[in-house]
Amino acid sequence: MIDWLVRITLAIVLVGKTAALGLQPDPARQTAPVADQPPAPPGVRSLDGLLEPIRAKHKVPALAAAVVTGDGLAALGAVGVRAAGSPERVTASDLWHIGSDTKAMTAVLCAILVEQGKLEWEATLAEIFPDLAPTMHADFRAATVEQLCTNRAGFPNGLDADGLWGRLWEHPGSPADARRLLLEGVTKHEPAARPGTKFIYSNAGFAVAGHICETVAGKPYEELIQDLLFRPLGMTTGGFGAPGTPGAIDQPRGHGKNGAPRHPTADGRGADNPPAITPAGRVHLSLEDWAKYVRVHIRGERGEPQRIGHVTLPAAAFRRLHTPPAGDYAFGWARTERPWAGDEGNRMVLTHAGSNTMWFAVAWVAPARDFAVLVCCNQAERGDKAADEAAGAAIKDHLEHSDTGVPAPHGSR
């Protein structure tokens, strides 16, 4: 459990595994001048000059950020190196691991299936998996899809009971089969809390929500989210696990606590969590593609129905996705207010952070001001602080360029 993420996203605690590795040279000393960076896309303001001093201050390998409005990408930047100790620089089109920011995507996938008539938010585990109901703890049988997507289904924060975490790594079958194992392994025990009564941040709950999607649709989650969400939105870079090719530094690498790069491997070990957890936190993609997805939330929160492929999500769907059933946590989003997000009485923001302990990503969405800021770092240690400062700077920069008259923030919080 990573306690230092609490201050970023209202007690959103992210789960991962780390290993002690040797120290690497300070990445701040390995980066060429910002002027050597390729230009931002036409019509998009560069954030490189804003990001580089923050990256160097916090001594992280790389830092990237984007600002998106309801009309599209407004600003973009990426500075630093793909891996500490290597000269390859990050680019604006590189891929970033967004960790638990995947969760809101899984909730949207559920919403699409609801609109298709294949799923209901109130459907229970016993109804969806009647063959497993006899072996489920009685309380788990009544857990609903909505509760899974809002961390209120009683699923635990960790998966160490009965060695389940290790068995997920050793599972010889498909990721969908491993998610079935996860479902069976968790629900045979008493819930961590009776479903619907308590917020418990849980990767397992969202993994099961993803398994529900693939079960009712008859297609693995990894294919389903590509077909129903990514491709319809023009998101061509979306993938799963640590980005890049083993043996070639063709994409950014995540970095461990001591600053050593963690390279992707054929089986995924050492660079990410097991594939069973994909619906909870294993998506990677470019910042531009992440912006395409977040733009849907900006416009949807404004009351505009959003067409995603053959499905149109109505304004009511976004009201549900953005509204916590209790407390501050909605469907993969923490909901709060910030003075820079709008006029008094209309300052709602949606936010979430993601990390597998080797990467850090955070999103801040201000629908009333028609913009969102997305920040990624390829190191979690110190990366959370770098991302927080970068988000605040990008918000201030956008407000100044948009001339809203809103006081510039001192930070994203």
Q: What is the pLDDT of residues 225-258, one digit of tens each?
A: 999 999 999 999 999 999 999 989 999 999 999 8
Averaged over 186-197, what is the pLDDT? 98
Phi, psi dihedral angles at 66 (to 5 degrees): -140, 150
pLDDT, residue 229, reads 98
Asked whether 137 and 397 are in contact (CB, 8 A), the reply is no
* pTM (predicted TM-score): 0.90
Asked whether 354 and 281 are in contact (CB, 8 A), the reply is yes
Instruction: Report how far residue 102's alpha carbon sits from residue 107's, in angstroms, rounded to the nearest whole number.
Output: 9
Averaged over 93-120, what is the pLDDT? 98
Averaged over 308-329, what is the pLDDT? 97
H or E element: which one contains 141?
helix 138-141
pLDDT, residue 218, reads 98
Report residue 337's pLDDT band, with 50, 70 and 90 as the boundaries.
very high
Its sign, for the CA torsion 95, 392, 373, 53, is negative
pLDDT, residue 42, reads 72
Reading the block at residue 176, the tokens are 């969908």
Better-predicted residue by pLDDT, 87 or 407 = 87
Q: How many CB atoms lie within 10 A of CB 33?
A: 7
Averaged over 316-344, what is the pLDDT? 97
Of 391, 378, 315, which is closest to residue 351 (Cα–Cα)?
391
Q: In sequence order, which residues have a C-beta less than 8 Å from that of residue 202 and are 6 or more positions away?
A: 151, 153, 155, 156, 157, 192, 280
Q: How many CB atoms lie within 10 A of CB 397?
A: 20
pLDDT, residue 17, reads 30
Q: How many CB atoms lie within 10 A of CB 70?
A: 17
Task: Using alpha carbons, list the distances in angstroms from residue 70 to 173, 359, 369.
Answer: 41, 27, 10
Instruction: Report how far residue 125's alpha carbon sits from residue 186's, in angstroms, rounded to the nearest whole number.
Output: 12
- Mean per-residue pLDDT over the chain, rounded: 89
pLDDT, tens digit, for every residue of 363-402? 999 999 999 999 999 999 999 999 999 999 999 999 999 8
Task: Using alpha carbons, list the distances in angstroms from residue 277 to 196, 255, 302, 321.
Answer: 22, 20, 32, 21
Least confident of 30-44, 273-287, 305-319: 30-44
Q: Which residue has 């996860």 as its token pair?
A: 182
Asked whether 114 and 120 are in contact (CB, 8 A), the reply is yes
Averaged over 131-139, what is the pLDDT? 98
Instruction: Report how far residue 211's alpha carbon sits from residue 219's, in angstroms, rounded to the nearest whole number.
Output: 10
pLDDT, residue 186, reads 98
